Structure 1
Amino acid sequence: MSNIKSLAVLSLGLLALSSCANQPQAEKSKAMIFTVADTGTTTTLNAGQSFEVKLLGTPTAGYSWEVQTLPAGVVLVDKTSEPENPEGRAQRMVGGNDWSRFHFKTISGPTDLQGTAGQALVLRYARPWEFEAGKPAEQIWQMQIVVKPGS
């Protein structure tokens, strides 16, 4: 009987640990995803909410998407890249486009409504060395972000 109880407790513990291990992926799947179609729009998010921006680029030609400005109350959590055509990469094809995925999280809202003006998330698409030399970005993606304070 004692062995059965021990086995039951161990099983419940493993089940709890496995659900915790999957939590970050579940949180990512709940994140809102914005694309090139969302540029120039405004969105309102709750404090603590995650969201992604997914944009296509050509890093093999030196172009990349980078954060130019972050609104107050928004932090960049992670940036990942994945090929547009994974099968081609698996076959060792050279070149091609990549999806840049920026993972953000809101951490706080403004203390008053006046604090929401000019809160734009801006991403630029450029060759870093050309941008640093003063050449304007090839593309700009931006979105006004309003973060509602937590309740």
Structure 2
Amino acid sequence: MKTGTNNKFWKYAKIITFLLTAFVVILSGCVDEEQNETESGNTTNNSQEITGTTNNQGTTGGDYIYGTAKVKSIQIVTLESFPVQVQVIAKGYLPDGCTKIDEIKNEGEGNAFNITISTKRPKGAFCTQVITNFTETIPLEVRGLKAGNYTVNVNGVNGSFELPVDNVPEETPGSMSTKQQIITEADNGTSISIENESTFYLKLKENPTTGYSWELNLSQGLNNISGEYCPPEQPEGIKQPLVGAEGVHLWEIKAVSKGNQQVMGIYKRPWEKVTGKEENFILNVEIV
């Protein structure tokens, strides 16, 4: 009897031990899973916090992406004045609606002018993908240069011009130049002095392909001897006038009476009435 009872006791003890072991294993698994989820959640939160901090630091202060503008062509214009003035007209395009011209650096070294047109674009901005054309007029510092050939480089596009004589003004103060004067837009609102019976040239930009032209009015002591429109230089293979391209109008004006005289010009379409918003040109002329 005792043997049977002992066998039953050990049988039940083994079953209870097995059940307790299984319960402990299951319980430890649940605890580990909760700990893993908690650690995973903490890791995710930390990663998000780090990422957010990094992004904020990247945009603080309005960061920009800088580059160089794409220049398609350049035109070098020599204004007929003395000292001679030279301008570079650079044309190109910007890749999208957010990119803008940032800075134009103009450096001269020897007989070379190196011009850099840089751009800037807000970092991370959503922009319209529309190409935008631009035109920049850049004056060159040619006053005081010696006669010779000079090169111009604008973002890798090259051109050249020539100074036939030293571009140095006469140093004698108050002396009247014996050379025939050429007046341009740069002289608008200024005064000149010339001798009676002498002539000077007036050279103004004009674009008759759009209907606009200059109307000149001269006071009685000045006579308009001649006037001629000079169209812009035509590219090879193109014979028709370039619509929208500027040429110049050149007049030769003679002084016929001593005293203070005046040249007045208005830039408009001939068939339109004067509104007061038109471009005007005024030159005061002292005839001695």
TM-score, structure 1 length as denominator? Answer: 0.65
Other structure's SS at 1:108 match: coil
Instruction: Name which one, 1 or 2, has greater alpha-carbon Rg.
Output: 2
Q: Which of 124, 132, 140 lines up with 2:280 in the alignment? A: 140
Query: Percent same amino acid among aligned pairs?
Result: 27
Q: Which of 223, 228, 235 lines up with 1:80 in the alignment? A: 228
Question: Is residue 74–residue 108 contact of structure 1 (8 Å, CA) maintained in 2?
Answer: yes
How far apart, CA to CA, are the structure 1 residues paired with 2:215 and 2:220?
A: 17
TM-superposed deviation, 1:91: 1.7
Go from structure 1 to structure 2 and tell me whether the alpha carbon gap of 1:42 and 1:98 turns closer, same or farther (over 3 Å shift): same
1:33-112 equivalent positions in 2, closer than 5 A: 33-67=182-216, 69-84=217-232, 86-88=233-235, 91-93=238-240, 94-95=242-243, 96-110=245-259
Q: Which has the higher helix share?
A: 1
Report the counterpart of residue 39 of structure 2 in structure 1. none
How far apart, CA to CA, are the structure 1 residues paired with 2:286 and 2:237?
A: 41
TM-superposed deviation, 1:32: 1.0
1:18-29 equivalent positions in 2, closer than 5 A: none
Other structure's SS at 1:87 match: coil
How far apart, CA to CA, are the structure 1 residues paired with 2:183 and 2:266?
A: 15
TM-superposed deviation, 1:137: 5.7
Go from structure 1 to structure 2 and tell me whether the alpha carbon gap of 1:58 and 1:137 turns closer, same or farther (over 3 Å shift): farther
Report the counterpart of residue 122 of structure 1 in structure 2. 264
TM-score, structure 2 length as denominator? Answer: 0.35
How far apart, CA to CA, are the structure 2 residues paired with 1:127 and 1:135?
A: 11
Go from structure 1 to structure 2 and tell me whether the alpha carbon gap of 1:107 and 1:55 turns closer, same or farther (over 3 Å shift): same
How far apart, CA to CA, are the structure 2 residues paired with 1:103 and 1:137?
A: 27
Instruction: Give the gaps of 5 or more residues in structure 1.
Output: 1-29, 111-115
Question: Is residue 57–residue 65 contact of structure 1 (8 Å, CA) maintained in 2?
Answer: yes
Q: Which has the higher strand share?
A: 2
> Per-residue displacement from partner, 1:7-34 (whole Å, max 9, x unpaired)?
xxxxxxxxxxxxxxxxxxxxxxx52100
How far apart, CA to CA, are the structure 2 residues paired with 1:77 and 1:144?
A: 18
- What letter matches 1:46 in structure 2? E
